[in-house]
Structure 1
């Protein structure tokens, strides 16, 4: 249905549902939303279900805003807001977006700013004519969050985004050619390997790219096969869907804008911030190692401008015949399984993303109940016959034992971690050990992006598990703000830590030891027989982390002074502490499939080494009785 037809339909139904005393000055389509502008502020009365009825009748997302002619001037609007908003809301900042008619309210207690059943929001709309948007203030300062929020409110950016959303809406609601529906997926990366995850979903009327990652362990082919004929030209891609922010899924997303893509990106709100953080760091690491970077910071900003955030459980049209819903995948902050509803229900497909089917210290377990489901594309990182991990409590005890043994020898503990996910899990364990008096006064240093990523976790408590969420909400006993943690502020501070004689614990990025500040600690401590490196996350094939984990006695690190590399002896103890992984082990993967509802007709495996994929597929066929396939990169599978 073309945009013009959508607007005609909304006008027709509005005359039947909306009282005669309510008029509309304009109707516009912005992405999948139909926005109606009215000078009649009484439409925002409490418990008004007119909008809901209209949305149900036209089967579209309806937003009603006040016409600009009835908006109060900003000064008067601010005064009125002070009268309306309860003190308990804890308003930190108020910003007016004159381009879109929004007033952005940053609150420490968003629930009070919204009011029961939205009563406060409706009062604001009625009395000042501005559309209130409530956002949570972070209890820990996040430069990334602050920069993105300020950037999106710049007049030029806001005006450009309004035009962009209109353009997206026209593309979503466009006329299509009649014909037989089909559903196909082309494997562009991450199949029979871990890294460069990328899939192309194709239907009769749509092309959607799911993830666009990088493989640090594959120097010959680190990028997805974006030159495949199904993908090009990139202008033909309707949208990109990002399941989560880890670089093996998100690193090359900004590169798409270099080669002509200018469409929308769909992800959860925290994924937008985390992806931006990690992509900027990716540029720094690549430059520091003298490697070519396929994009620059402007392309990251363009990705931010083109992102349409979507919360868990919300559904949106992304193309003429595809609806998208995100569900929690339990892997990292904001990680999601992407559920696609094709056409009028002809087919339903889920891309699992990376999943953790277990309640963790950070998140609730992955969702595996969907409204409808025929096809599943699923990760298999730990799908091998013997890929069983200990419980998290056992992992915590193991880490404590390793720390104790190292401290007795007056050594230092180096834990390479991903900035997002594993860092925060290890922090929670260390904070608990500290609160129990087991770490005494030993300092814990956080180097790299860990502090910033942790601040983003505090900014989105609704994505955390119930116990942790309440601690952040109440801003009491927030474990992330414990006095035990020290942020490494500078290169000089890092050098001081490297040269210290007393025991210390350092959490540093990157998690696979393929760049970042962890390299400096490794350079200094690797020759020390008394120190220990503890791996708590997956080490991909070809990475420095995997070589060290497998027992390399000598490694070559970048020579800062002369260029090239220098040999470094590895005498430190190398330990692997399992139980911290953000991926499901074999037992959890099988439980995920046994309890998934409804049962899919076909399962495709990706995100796993070739042998593990095949072993997992065999078990799925024998034990779960599902049709399971293991495609290679560049294969296309037809689902319908």
Structure 2
């Protein structure tokens, strides 16, 4: 990533000509997509209603106003003044000043009270002390991941500012090419589930979308060696749709290969990859595999993240604007809309989507200003891939748990730490609260509790009613007493297996390693117990083989010895809890998409799923459809 043009030439003079004479402009810089104006009169800027929106409209950029060094009240004097301006009910938990940027970071239990109506309290803070406030939510559940990511980014704040300024200059460089075309190259997840990765190219820009691994297939990585992806160090941007490892696991590899540019994602996705990627390395080490990168590359990746809110149009290159929308799949998951050129072409990457509302999330957004091409996930794209209605699914699950409880047995549910686990927690908490299930312990094994804590840190990304319960009704369902963390290792697992009937939610969701292997060993030999699948089991995974009827499995103990075991517990699959849209949901996403795309690439599904969905969309909606293979390039415009 390199720049050959001074993007600031004449910019400061333009800004000065658009602000009143009594407002000073001491320095202008880009930090990523944002235009940052440093001023010696921050209090006057804060006092002028509408000046920042006016500048944003004039320059078509997000504008941040920061005080020039030395213009603020001293931190020791500013802190009590800030606390006086903020209602006590806001619950301030931390307050930290950064003189290099003139920002004060305020962490509070109720950030809305810190912000005030239409940002009124933030303006009052700046008018009073000259500092620019940055507000963060204190997670209702303690999260070591959220704390560690925030602390790390605070520690690296100066380095991040240098990175963002370099990125800003690159984004706002002058175009270098007179040619005009748009292409997509498939690096993975075509006619397969996993290792999602694409390159979106123009003569000016190359953007990598996702970079995941393939569950159950060690060593199958995206085709980053292709000329379209190389040199990796010269990619202009990386966009991550969501945190699941089949989309995110190998992003740190890019930094190992020399990439030093931005990675765009939502804030929850940033925190979740900090959790999932480090666990990915830990699991690899425990299983005796050499991890493809080390934890330093994860930290390097976090340093380069630029987070986006849903709906915000953001420049990521001279000829590309990115907007992220809710995908309804997991926390922070996004449908990525790329506006290429001056209206040249618009490409939508669905990522993984859930079309209808769930207990956790509102359904996926499919309304765009323009959309000529859709790259569409096809996980459940086969003609018979219809999931059970959610209410019926919940009833089936509760009935299975009740039967197992009556048999004095325990139910173990392999679940993804992010998404399905929290959905199940809501179902089980309500069922016990309303008497549909007897109250019993619900044990969370693996990263589930930590992932849940991250969910509570971002309630604005959750479904409307759930957000209301967490923020305003003081009814956080994730804090119910029956949820207990498994933190005592194998000894605690043995005690649970020998104890009273219970429910166990355990990673990994596709039975490819992790604590679920211990539960198979401890519970699998007793026919009174039950194993219930609630999520997609990819081809090649142990979960898929068990789901398909294979009851003879091999387990490896801590000494490396392999033992054969026959599973005797009840094995069931309950559809309807997946974070993916079923065949009907995928068709409805396209049917109601506004505008409907002219061409659709069906990806992220096995060969039959992508072929059958592609054929159906062509027949039903009279648009060009494709089921690409890996290593193919499509010219879109």
Sort the TM-score into its range (normalised by shorter chain): over 0.9
Does the aligned pair in 2 maintain the 1:139–1:475 contact within 8 Å? Answer: no
Deviations 1:237-283 (A, max 9, x none): 11110000000000111111111111110000000001110111111
Does the aligned pair in 2 maintain the 1:107–1:137 contact within 8 Å? Answer: yes
For residue 451 of structure 1, give the secondary structure of its aligned residue in structure 2.
helix
Q: How does 1:103-114 map to 2 (within 5 A)?
A: 103-114=104-115
Task: State the alpha-carbon separation in 1 of the partners of residues 539 and 561 from structure 2.
Answer: 23
Does the aligned pair in 2 maintain the 1:44–1:123 contact within 8 Å? Answer: no
Structure 2 match to 1:13: 14
Question: Any unmatched runs of 5+ in structure 2?
Answer: none
**Pairing partner for 2:585 from 583, 588, 601:** 588
**Pairing partner for 1:255 from 250, 253, 256:** 253
2:305 pairs with 1:307: yes
Deviations 1:157-205 (A, max 9, x none): 1111111111111211223223121110100010100011001110110
Shift of 1:4: 6.5
Task: State the alpha-carbon separation in 2 of the partners of residues 118 and 3 from structure 1.
Answer: 38
Structure 2 match to 1:609: 606
Shift of 1:59: 2.1
Q: How does 1:108-127 map to 2 (within 5 A)?
A: 108-127=109-128
Deviations 1:286-307 (A, max 9, x none): 1111112001111111111110
Structure 2 match to 1:93: 94
Deviations 1:127-181 (A, max 9, x none): 2121100111111001100111111112xx1111111111111211223223121
Q: How does 1:564-583 map to 2 (within 5 A)?
A: 564-583=561-580
Structure 2 match to 1:231: 229
Question: Any unmatched runs of 5+ in structure 1?
Answer: none
Task: State the alpha-carbon separation in 2 of the partners of residues 98 and 446 from structure 1.
Answer: 43
Q: How does 1:285-296 map to 2 (within 5 A)?
A: 285-296=283-294
Structure 2 match to 1:440: 438
Shift of 1:5: 5.5
Task: State the alpha-carbon separation in 1 of the partners of residues 427 and 438 from structure 2.
Answer: 14
Structure 1 match to 2:420: 422
Shift of 1:27: 1.1
Q: How does 1:392-403 map to 2 (within 5 A)?
A: 392-403=390-401
Shift of 1:41: 2.7
Would the alpha carbon gap of residues 110 and 638 (structure 1) be closer, same or farther in structure 2, given more than 3 Å must change?
same
Q: How does 1:285-434 map to 2 (within 5 A)?
A: 285-434=283-432
**Pairing partner for 2:518 from 514, 517, 520:** 520
Task: State the alpha-carbon separation in 2 of the partners of residues 208 and 497 from structure 1.
Answer: 50
Does the aligned pair in 2 maintain the 1:13–1:54 contact within 8 Å? Answer: no
For residue 105 of structure 1, give the secondary structure of its aligned residue in structure 2.
strand
For residue 397 of structure 2, give the secondary structure of its aligned residue in structure 1.
helix
Structure 2 match to 1:23: 24
Task: State the alpha-carbon separation in 2 of the partners of residues 47 and 380 from structure 1.
Answer: 51
Task: State the alpha-carbon separation in 2 of the partners of residues 365 and 539 from structure 1.
Answer: 23
Shift of 1:14: 2.1
Task: State the alpha-carbon separation in 1 of the partners of residues 17 and 51 from structure 2.
Answer: 11
Structure 1 match to 2:487: 489
Deviations 1:376-428 (A, max 9, x none): 10001111010101111111100011112212222211100000000001111
Structure 2 length-normalised TM: 0.97
Task: State the alpha-carbon separation in 2 of the partners of residues 546 and 265 from structure 1.
Answer: 33
Shift of 1:479: 0.8
Task: State the alpha-carbon separation in 1 of the partners of residues 588 and 19 from structure 2.
Answer: 49
Task: State the alpha-carbon separation in 1 of the partners of residues 468 and 425 from structure 2.
Answer: 18
Shift of 1:442: 1.5
**Pairing partner for 2:630 from 603, 615, 633:** 633
Does the aligned pair in 1 maintain the 2:328–2:363 contact within 8 Å? Answer: yes
Deviations 1:500-548 (A, max 9, x none): 1421110000100101111111111112111110000000000011011
Structure 2 match to 1:33: 34
Task: State the alpha-carbon separation in 2 of the partners of residues 243 and 446 from structure 1.
Answer: 26
* Count of residues in correspondence between the two structures: 636
Would the alpha carbon gap of residues 497 and 396 (structure 1) be closer, same or farther in structure 2, given more than 3 Å must change?
farther
Would the alpha carbon gap of residues 122 and 501 (structure 1) be closer, same or farther in structure 2, given more than 3 Å must change?
closer
Does the aligned pair in 2 maintain the 1:339–1:350 contact within 8 Å? Answer: yes
Structure 1 match to 2:450: 452
Q: CA RMSD in A?
A: 1.5
Would the alpha carbon gap of residues 554 and 498 (structure 1) be closer, same or farther in structure 2, given more than 3 Å must change?
farther
